């Protein structure tokens, strides 16, 4: 394969300032393998609630277009998200609903990796199934393994310093990022 930096973007499903999932997301650039650059996607926090009437009358709000363009241009997308009520947090789901209606839908063929953290024991496993299902509908290519579920995350992530303190967790994430880079290479990058 020709020498090329892989540009991967990360999307955080939590809007909370002290978010554990955001702390994990912030750790990714330093854990990425050589040749992979990870940057945060444009935010979805200003998206209005999806309403087909407003889409039909006013088109897509600029922040929606910006996120869709960033996804389309990226070689891969990583979701760092909490689980809300066994599913995708409303803000993130709303963002996916908007982006899914943009012409030249940006997730088609896009390599996607999932990571979730929760203070509970299951680490967000259920939100990942929910996201996988949405990604099937959007024709993305989601990495199967290794999976990253950070259970009991308050014991593995220090809210005060904003760092992952558990070395095993850091190791698992590093392994997933290496696998994701290979997955992207195997699946091709932008269509």
Ligand X SMILES: Cc1cc2nc3c(=O)[nH]c(=O)nc-3n(C[C@H](O)[C@H](O)[C@H](O)COP(=O)(O)O)c2cc1C
| Min dist. Cβ of residue 37 to ligand X (A) | 23
Minimum CB separation of residue 92 from ligand X in Å reads 11
Q: Between 82 and 106, whose beta carbon lies closer to ligand X? A: 82
> CA separation (Å) from 120 to 59, 116, 124, 125, 127?
40, 11, 8, 10, 13
* Count of CB atoms situated within 10 Å of the CB of 145: 9
CB of 3 to ligand X, least distance (A): 36
Cβ distance to ligand X smaller for residue 76 or 82: 82
**Which of residues 110 and 126 has its CB atom nearest to ligand X in the complex?**
126
Nearest to ligand X of 82, 111 (CB atom):
82
- The residues of the shown chain that bind ligand X, judged by CB under 6 A, are 14, 16, 19-21, 82-86, 118-120, 122, 124
CB of 144 to ligand X, least distance (A): 21
Show the DSSP H helices in the chain as ranges: 20-31, 52-58, 62-73, 90-100, 125-137, 167-187
């Amino acid at each position: 394969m020709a020498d090329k930096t892989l540009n991967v973007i990360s999307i955080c499903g939590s809007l909370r300032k002290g978010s554990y999932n955001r702390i994990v997301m912030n750790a990714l650039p330093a854990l990425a393998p050589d040749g992979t650059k990870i940057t945060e996607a444009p935010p979805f926090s200003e998206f209005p609630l999806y309403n087909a009437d407003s889409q039909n009358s006013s088109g897509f709000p600029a922040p929606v277009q910006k996120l869709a363009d960033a996804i389309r241009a990226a070689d891969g997308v990583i979701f760092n998200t909490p689980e809300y009520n066994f599913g995708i947090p409303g803000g993130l789901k709303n963002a996916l609903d908007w982006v899914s209606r943009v012409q030249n839908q940006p997730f088609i063929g896009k390599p996607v990796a999932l990571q979730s953290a929760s203070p509970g024991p299951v680490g967000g496993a259920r939100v990942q199934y929910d996201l996988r299902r949405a990604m099937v509908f959007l024709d993305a290519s989601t990495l199967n393994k290794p999976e990253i579920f950070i259970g009991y995350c308050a014991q593995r992530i220090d809210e005060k310093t904003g760092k992952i303190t558990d070395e095993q967790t850091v190791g698992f994430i590093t392994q997933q990022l290496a696998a994701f880079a290979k997955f992207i290479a195997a699946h091709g990058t932008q269509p």
